[in-house]
Structures are given as C-alpha cells and as structure tokens.
A and B are shown apart, each in its own frame.
Chain A
Amino acid sequence: MAFDSLTEKLQNIFKNLRSKGRLTEDDVKEALKEIKRALLAADVNFKVVKDFVKSVQERAVGQDVMNGLNPGQMVIKIVNEELVKLMGSQTTEIKLQPGSAITVIMMAGLQGAGKTTTTAKLAGKFKLKGKKPLLAACDVYRPAAIKQLQVNGEKQGVEVFSMGENHKPANIAKAALEHAQKNGNNIVILDTAGRLHIDEDMMEELQEIKNTVTVHQTILVIDAMTGQDAVNVAKEFHEKAGIDGVIVTKLDGDTRGGAALSVKAVTGKPILYVGMGEKLSDLEQFYPDRMASRILGMGDVLTLIEKA
C-alpha cells in the first residue's frame, strides 16, 4: 500500500544524512517534499498543503531531535501535531437548545453526499439520548427522496413529516416546526435536496429556509472521497448558507480523506461526526488525531512515536 511508502521514503532520506541532534533546514526540506506528496495523494487541497508545509518548516527547523526518534520520525511527529491542531483539537457535539426548546438542524451538501442517510442516522443518535426527533422531507426534487426518508425514518422508529413535492422547502420546514411544537418533538432535522454550490437559485433556497424558520445548526455533509474541489464547495456553502458544523461520510472506504482537512481549514467549523457505513447505526464520533494519521497514512509510525 501507498501507506507505508511515506515512512520508507523518509527513512531513506534520513539514512543518507548524518544523524544529528538538531533538524537542519535541508533535512526538513527533503522530508517535507515527501510529506507534501503524501498530503496531495490524500486529496488535501494544494493551497492548504502549501501553507501547511510552510508552517511546519518554520516550526521544525532547529528543533532538537527527541531521544529515541530519528530525524524522520521527528519531522512526522511535528507534522502530525500540526495536522491535529488544524483539524480541531477536540471532539465536538452538536449543540442543542437548552431545556425543552426545539432545536432545528438543517442538512446541506452536494448531490449524493449522504444527507438523507445521515439525517436518519442522527435521528437514531438523538433518540438514544431520549430526544424526540422529527424528520422533515424538504427535498422536493430527487425522485423518491421523500420515500427514502420515510423508509429510513421507519427503520429508526422516528416520525417523518412530509407535504409531497408541491410545496416550497421553506414552507415545509415551517409546517414541520409547527407540527413539532404540537406533538412534543424537541429536534427537527431538515433533509434538503443535494445542490451544487454554484447553483444560485438552489443556494438561495437554503437561505430562504433560514429566513423562514430559525435554524440552530446548519450541517454540511461532505463525502470523504472529495478531491481538490472540497475547498470550493465548503467555502461557497459556508458563505451562502452559514455552516455550523460538518459531517464527513463514507469513511468506511479506503480514502485517506484529505477533504476533511480542507473543509476544516476553509470554514473553521468543527467536524462533528463521521459516516462509517450504510447502516443507520454507522455514525461515529470524530477524532482529530485519528483523522490526522489517516490523512498522513501512517498509523503505525505514530504509535511508535507515542511510545518514544
């Protein structure tokens, strides 16, 4: 796998240099070339990589090499620490309204990212916590989108509110909120249609929903396999719809998931959960440190470093 090769390459680079107590500029430069390659192979955005490599360079040059580490491991340790820092140093939960107030959550993202599935997954999580979620079918475009939400809602034992395909999503959201108020639901999750970040009308539609009901949490759902375009997507969704948090889906694949880093770098908003499968229970807490080693593709080295 490509995963080990970064480690090997770094070992090779440093084998040729005399072992020293302190990282020199040349050491670090050589190593960062490989790191840069690894990050790009992981789909981290080119610009994010450039900035990142620069800041690591500044930090690493002149540092003492810790006991038990070789210079290569030392650079990786620094790279990893910086990555974790970039990704948000701790796990964040979706913020709910206090007391019995209703929390409205809006799901948004590109087509096929996993919004509808994640809506149902979230509902299950909230239900386990003793909440009474209501799912609102605000995708009036995709064929059978409503049915999909209904089937998933039923699997989760959670009510789904829909008004068919002939109403505006903003009006459906409003009616859903009224329904929730009457029926004692304390969380309303709006499943919206997939849309392109450059589709002005569709982006406006999200804004219209937010103008009609108070949305407490707007969540960007993004596919972990997304490439360089992740920054454009995140930036536009953030600017036009105001993102509060991110959920990264399909991390059960073998993608390195560099999009997660790009999205965090662009929006500054926390990654809340990760989707780890198609089953409605496959939603997991996000751990920045795990994500960092995944992106670097070097879990083993890190455990090695931690032990040193």
Chain B
Amino acid sequence: GKTRDNIVSGMDSIFNGFSHIDDDFYEELEEVLIMGDLGVQATYDILDDLKGKVKAEHIKEPMQCRELLIESIKEQMDVGETAYEFEEKTSVVLVIGVNGVGKTTTIGKLAGKLKAQNKKVVLAAADTFRAAAGEQLKEWANRAQADLIGGQEGSDPASVVYDAVASAKARHADVLLCDTAGRLHNKKNLMEELKKMNRIIDREFPEAYRETLVVLDATTGQNAMQQAKEFNEVADITGIVLTKMDGTAKGGIAVAIHAELGIPVKYIGVGESIDDLQKFDADTFVRALFTTGDGEEGENS
C-alpha cells in the first residue's frame, strides 16, 4: 500500500499508483489540489468537471485523467493576447499588494527587463512608510540603471506619484513603475490612499497605457483570494505577479482567483536576483502543481 509520505509526492505517483478510477483515486486527487492551495471550492469544481468528462468520454485509465486535468486547468489560466502590451507602450505600471510579498523586488526585476529592451524606465518610490523602503528601491534602480523619483519617509505617497508622473513625461520615459507600500486589504484608509494615487495618474497622465499589477506571494493560502478581490475593488487589477515560485509552494490559489475574478497571472518571481522574473507559462505552472513536493523536479532548481 501507499505510505503517507509518498502521498505528498504528488500526482505522478497517484496516476502510477492507481490501476483504475475509483473513489480513492478521486480522494487523492483532492488532496493534491488542496495541498497545492487551490482551495476547497476550486478543487471540488475541478473534480466535478473531471468526473463529468470521465463519464461522458468513458475514460478508464488514470493516466488519461492526468492529461484531461492538466488541459482543463491550463485553459483556465490563459494569459490573454494583450497581457504584455504595456511593455511596448508609454505606460504607467502601478504595483500593489500586501506586506512583504515582493513588490519592490518585482519592480527592480521589471525595470531590469525593460532596460534590456532599451526602454527608458523611471521608478517612483511611493512607499514612504516602511523603514528604508526608499533605499531598497534605490539599490534596485542602480542595479537596473533606471531613474528614481523618491520621497521622504513619511511624505504623502500621492505627491511622490505626482512628481514621478511629471518627471516621466518630461524625460519622455517609456515606462513609469510605481512602488507602493505594502498594505493589508482590510485597512480602509490605506486602500483609499491607493485610490488617490490611481486618480492622480489618471488625471495627470491620461494618455498613458495603464497596467496595475497585484503581487501575490505563492506561499499564501486562501487569503490571496480576498486580497485579489479587495485590491481589484480599488484599482482595477490587470494582472497578477506570483512571487516566490522558487520555493515549494505551488501558488494554486491563482487558479481559483482566475476562475472567480478572471485576472490572469502575467509573471512569476523565481528568486531574488534581477533576472528572476519570468513570463507566466500555464503549462509549466500546471505541471508543477502535479509534480513532487521535494523540490527536485521543480523546473527552477
């Protein structure tokens, strides 16, 4: 029989370990999906859908289930055609999210990516709250060789955004990347502050292409859904950056978020260096959901 430990090791062993499709088989699939942080609802929806297909198509082999499952989740995670348009346009990218998820680092990486495409990039240090947030972004600006518009600790972040927009226009920058302070989505006044920053960009730079990225930590569980919802309320999110995908967490909540809110994952963070940002690839992501949890078969190790 199967030991508890090799249950953890995921999908491959499940498909191999079962000769036919039965309740035990589905139960273990449930476990894998839950352990990947898809959440109860998305897991049940996916499994119901799968059961339907298995019946309709008279599928008998667990291995056939594997492909069905991968295909259907992949389909759901489609990024869309216009996902990276902002990289080609005069654009303002607002980066938001809860505390410590990787916003500042992601901006540094994005700046590096855009610089490599010979874009003129300006960074706005609109986190005027956290200790040394400005210095941290400054270091990233140096690494990426991007311009930085800063603000004093404690100053109004909206006024930093205002200055940065003016400066980006004056310098004919291609992309303005705005770093914001981490804020929990249940803090009303901090969410209002985001609205204000948004309004200023709209008002001062209406001709700019707008991109609003919410950064989610792949290690986060079900709360990420709430985060996506609340940030979407105040800022019309256009995409998700899923960070820390170099760990053992699968980031499965992004599947549930895409299913419920239709917001695609556009990038994943896979480390702490400037090159550790990748465009989202649904195939790799979904397969990783179903590969072993010991970190050895991950595509990034």
Contacts and interface: CB of A to CB of B under 8 A. Distances in A.
Interface string A44-80: 0111000000000000000000000000000000000
Interface string B245-287: 0111110010000000000000000001000000000000000
Nearest to B182: A278
B102 A37 contact: no
Given A223-B219, A250-B184, A253-B223, A229 B37 contact: yes
Given A229-B247, A259-B221, A46 B34 contact: yes
Contacts of A232: 248, 293
B136 to A, nearest CB: 4
A43 B222 contact: yes
A46 B223 CA distance: 16
A255 B223 contact: yes
A257 to B, nearest CB: 9
Of A143, A230, A259, the most chain B CB neighbours within 10 A belong to A143
Classify the interface of chain A: helix, strand, loop or mixed: loop
Interface stretch (B10-18, B73-81, B111-119, B124-132): B124-132
Given A41-B222, A112-B102, A253 B31 contact: no
B257 to A, nearest CB: 13
A227 to B, nearest CB: 2
Contacts of A40: 34, 39-40
Contacts of A45: 35
B244 to A, nearest CB: 7
Nearest to A154: B131
A259 B187 CA distance: 22
A182 B184 CA distance: 42
Q: What bracket does the count of chain A residues touching chain B fall in?
A: 35 or more
Given A40-B34, A41-B40, A197-B247, A227 B100 contact: no
Given A112-B101, A255-B223, A198 B131 contact: no
Which of A41, A142, A144, A230 has its CB near the most chain B CB atoms (within 10 A)? A144
Interface string A128-149: 0000000000000111110110
Contacts of B250: 229
Interface string B124-160: 0000011111011011100000000000010000000
Interface in A153-196: 155, 196
Given A141-B272, A253-B98, A151 B132 contact: yes
A245 interface: no
A43 B295 CA distance: 21
B297 to A, nearest CB: 12
B185 interface: yes
Interface residues of B, number: 49
Nearest to B217: A112
B222 A227 contact: yes
Contact of B221 (A43, A143, A151, A196): A43
Contacts of B222: 41-43, 227, 255-256
Contacts of A46: 31, 34-35
Interface-central residue, B99, B153, B244, by most chain A CB under 10 Å: B99
A228 B184 contact: no
A91 B292 CA distance: 37
B221 A227 contact: yes
Nearest to A193: B272
A155 B182 CA distance: 19
B224 interface: yes
Residue of A110, A147, A228 contacting most chain B CB atoms (<10 Å): A228
B19 interface: no
A86 B237 CA distance: 39
Contact of A223 (B31, B138, B186, B220): B220
A250 B101 CA distance: 12
Contacts of B239: none
Given A198-B247, A254-B226, A227 B131 contact: no
B36 interface: yes
A110 B135 contact: no
B4 interface: yes
B37 A228 contact: yes
A152 interface: yes
B221 A226 contact: yes
Give the most central of A227, A229, A232, A256: most B CB within 10 Å.
Answer: A227
Given A41-B222, A196-B247, A252 B184 contact: yes
A250 B34 CA distance: 23
B109 to A, nearest CB: 12
A36 B139 CA distance: 46
B135 A144 contact: yes
A288 to B, nearest CB: 20
Contacts of B131: 147-148, 151-152, 155
30 contacts: A40-B34, A40-B40, A43-B223, A111-B272, A112-B101, A143-B135, A144-B135, A144-B136, A145-B132, A147-B136, A150-B132, A151-B132, A196-B248, A198-B295, A198-B301, A225-B217, A225-B223, A227-B37, A227-B220, A228-B34, A229-B248, A232-B293, A250-B100, A252-B184, A252-B186, A253-B184, A255-B226, A258-B221, A259-B221, A278-B129
- What 4 pairs across the A-B complex have the smallest Cβ distances? A227-B221, A112-B100, A143-B139, A43-B221
Given A144-B138, A227-B220, A256-B223, 17 more contacts: A40-B39, A40-B40, A41-B40, A41-B222, A112-B101, A114-B100, A141-B272, A226-B220, A228-B36, A229-B249, A232-B293, A250-B100, A253-B184, A253-B223, A254-B223, A254-B226, A255-B223
